[in-house]
């Protein structure tokens, strides 16, 4: 991630007041199993600040109407709010043009759209799509599908034991046959922050397009698609403090212009006859049907929230909590952290010797601590580490050292039960 080195002057000092920030999240003020809720499952989905919930409520209470079609006041307000969210996201990602911001259902839909609309008409037998061992199923299966449809080959770049991408092997796998390089900006199961700029450059030298899966990156540090130089970037709203069923596909205008529509229907057309239809301009060509208006408005509010806090400040806070969590887990006997790359986002995957991750998750839940246990939609990665699953604590901007202490207390509880 393109983390700036220092914090801006107004964010330095005490600006990142985590207790004040926590107060913005009504859901955090509850007890679970008699303990204060400690939410450490942010890699799966993040909680929503009051202003996101309010923005959605306000839209339904006072502005609800369909967008782009009506001439009445409500439709105009709904359209302005929906399109305003697009402008907010454009600024957030530093895209050159609002036409490059396509609203989709989530990172998953964004990746499928690229595979079907851009790659499918272009790939041929002998072409290659290059991914890595650490990809989420959402950045594996869409490429498998399109390879099956076109006769192209899926290639996989290996990783080191630390969870870092093997850049030498990666570079050797990129050739004139490579048409697409698709890599996670941040790994959901390891936390590794990949050297995205270098990956993009390597892809471009070979004439391939570079796709970055930003599902685990966009909420945790600054993302500048122009500085990264990528051709496509996807993110999920619900992992960025926004609502579910909403996501963003950034695509360079030139590539989006050349891509086929993804779905047909209302709004994505310019003209329709039974003989032939023509397509609307960007980004509407890819937004068939009534869109998720409330979702876009909620995402816009979430992006404003993160921007006000400052992405550098969020990254610095989470890095500090991650370092503390890593130290505390390292102190515990019988715990192995999976994913120890020096450049890591706030994700801690671990296995407890002799205990199934599902049991770890269930026991720490008794302490009010929500973590995830499973394969994290990364089965090939689990196979790479020869584990069926891991436990995963994943951080957000509202997590604290006290949350980490609660997790460690829960893990002591696990050991007490299994050491008996
Ligand atoms: N990519 C990564 C790295 C993820 O972690 C996830 C979700 O966990 C996805 C893609 C898919 O996101 P969504 O299910 O929100 O579409």
Q: What is the pLDDT of residues 33-79, one digit of tens each?
A: 999 999 999 999 999 999 999 999 999 999 999 999 878 999 999 99
Q: Which residues of 96-114 are buried (b: 16+ CB within 10 A; e: fewer)?
A: eeebbbbbbbbbbbbbbbb
DSSP per residue over 208-252, as a string? -EEEEE-TTTTTTS---HHHHT-SEEEEEGGGTTS-SS-EEEEE-
Tokens coding 258: 């050349």
DSSP per residue over 375-405, as a string? -TT-HHHHHHTT-S-EEEEE--TT--HHHHH
Q: Which residues of 185-214 are buried (b: 16+ CB within 10 A; e: fewer)?
A: bbbbbbbbbbbbeebbebbbebebbbbbbb
- The rounded Å distance from CA 415 to ligand 1 centre is 31
Tokens coding 364: 């720490």
Q: What is the pLDDT of residues 121-147, one digit of tens each?
A: 999 999 999 999 999 999 999 999 999
Residue 139: its pLDDT value, please? 98
Residue 13: its pLDDT value, please? 44
Q: What is the pLDDT of residues 257-299, one digit of tens each?
A: 999 999 999 999 999 999 999 999 999 999 999 999 999 999 9
- The rounded Å distance from CA 276 to ligand 1 centre is 36
- The rounded Å distance from CA 296 to ligand 1 centre is 18
- The rounded Å distance from CA 150 to ligand 1 centre is 25
Tokens coding 393: 């604590």
**SS3 at position 340:** coil
SS (H, E, C) 277-333: EEECCCCHHHCCCCCCHHHHHHHHHHHHHHHHHCHHHHHHHHHHHHHHHHHHHHCCC
Which residue stretches of the chain have pLDDT < 50?
A: 1-14
Residue 152: its pLDDT value, please? 99
Q: Is the CB of 41 under 6 A from ligand 1?
A: no
Q: Which residue has the tokens 């930003």?
A: 214
Tell me which residue has its CA closest to atom 4 in ligand 1.
Answer: 215
Q: Is the CB of 391 under 6 A from ligand 1?
A: no
User: How many other CB atoms are there within 10 angstroms of residue 288's CB atom?
Assistant: 17
Whether 25 and 398 have beta carbons less than 8 Å apart is answered as: yes
Q: Which of 143, 216, 349 should be mutated for ligand 1, with most atoms under 8 A from CB?
A: 216
Partners of 8 in the β-ladder: none
The span from the CA of 318 to the CA of 334, in Å, is: 25
The span from the CA of 82 to the CA of 65, in Å, is: 11
Q: Is the CB of 410 under 6 A from ligand 1?
A: no
Residue 420: its pLDDT value, please? 72
Question: Among the atoms of ligand 1, which is closest to the Cα of residue 377?
Answer: 8
Question: Among the atoms of ligand 1, which is closest to the Cα of residue 244?
Answer: 15
- The rounded Å distance from CA 205 to ligand 1 centre is 28
Q: Is the CB of 237 under 6 A from ligand 1?
A: no
Tokens coding 285: 């060509």
Residue 228: its pLDDT value, please? 98
Structural domains of the chain, with CATH = 3-49+310-418 (3.90.1150.10), 54-307 (3.40.640.10)
pTM for the full predicted model: 0.96
């Amino acid at each position: 991630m393109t983390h700036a080195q220092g914090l801006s002057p107004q964010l330095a000092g005490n600006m990142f007041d985590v207790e004040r920030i926590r107060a913005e999240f009504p859901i955090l003020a509850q007890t679970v199993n008699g303990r204060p809720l400690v939410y450490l499952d942010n890699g799966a989905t993040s909680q929503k600040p009051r202003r996101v919930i309010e923005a959605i409520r306000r839209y339904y209470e006072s502005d609800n109407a369909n967008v782009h079609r009506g001439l009445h006041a409500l439709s105009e307000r709904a359209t302005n709010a929906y399109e305003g969210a697009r402008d907010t996201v454009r600024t957030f990602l530093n895209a050159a043009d609002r036409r490059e911001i396509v609203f989709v259902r989530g990172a998953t839909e964004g990746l499928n759209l690229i595979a079907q609309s851009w790659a499918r008409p272009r790939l041929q037998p002998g072409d290659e799509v290059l991914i890595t061992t650490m990809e989420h199923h959402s950045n594996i299966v869409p490429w498998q599908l399109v390879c099956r449809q076109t006769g192209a080959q899926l290639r996989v770049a290996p990783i080191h034991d630390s969870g870092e991408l093997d850049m030498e092997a990666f570079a050797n796998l990129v050739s004139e046959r490579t048409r697409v390089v698709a890599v996670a900006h941040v790994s959901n199961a390891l936390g590794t922050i990949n050297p995205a700029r270098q990956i993009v450059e390597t892809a471009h030298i070979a004439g391939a397009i570079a796709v970055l899966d930003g599902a685990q990156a966009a909420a945790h540090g600054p993302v500048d698609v122009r500085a990264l130089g990528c051709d496509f970037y996807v993110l999920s709203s619900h992992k960025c403090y926004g609502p579910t069923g909403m996501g963003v596909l950034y695509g360079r205008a030139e590539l989006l212009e050349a891509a086929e529509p993804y779905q047909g229907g209302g709004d994505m057309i310019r003209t329709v006859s039974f003989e032939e239809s023509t397509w609307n301009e960007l980004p509407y060509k890819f937004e068939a049907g009534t869109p998720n208006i409330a979702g876009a408005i909620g995402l816009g509010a979430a992006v404003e929230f993160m921007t006000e806090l400052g992405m550098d400040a969020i990254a610095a806070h989470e890095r500090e909590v991650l370092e503390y969590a890593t130290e505390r887990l390292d102190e515990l006997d019988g715990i192995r952290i999976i994913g120890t790359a020096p450049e890591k986002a706030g994700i801690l995957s671990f296995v407890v010797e002799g205990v199934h991750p599902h049991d770890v998750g269930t026991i720490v839940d008794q302490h009010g601590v929500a973590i995830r246990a499973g394969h994290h939609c990364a089965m090939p990665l689990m196979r790479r580490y020869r584990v069926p699953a891991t436990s995963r604590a994943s951080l957000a901007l509202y997590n604290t050292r006290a949350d980490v202490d609660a997790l460690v207390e829960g893990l002591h509880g696990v050991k007490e039960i299994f050491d008996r």
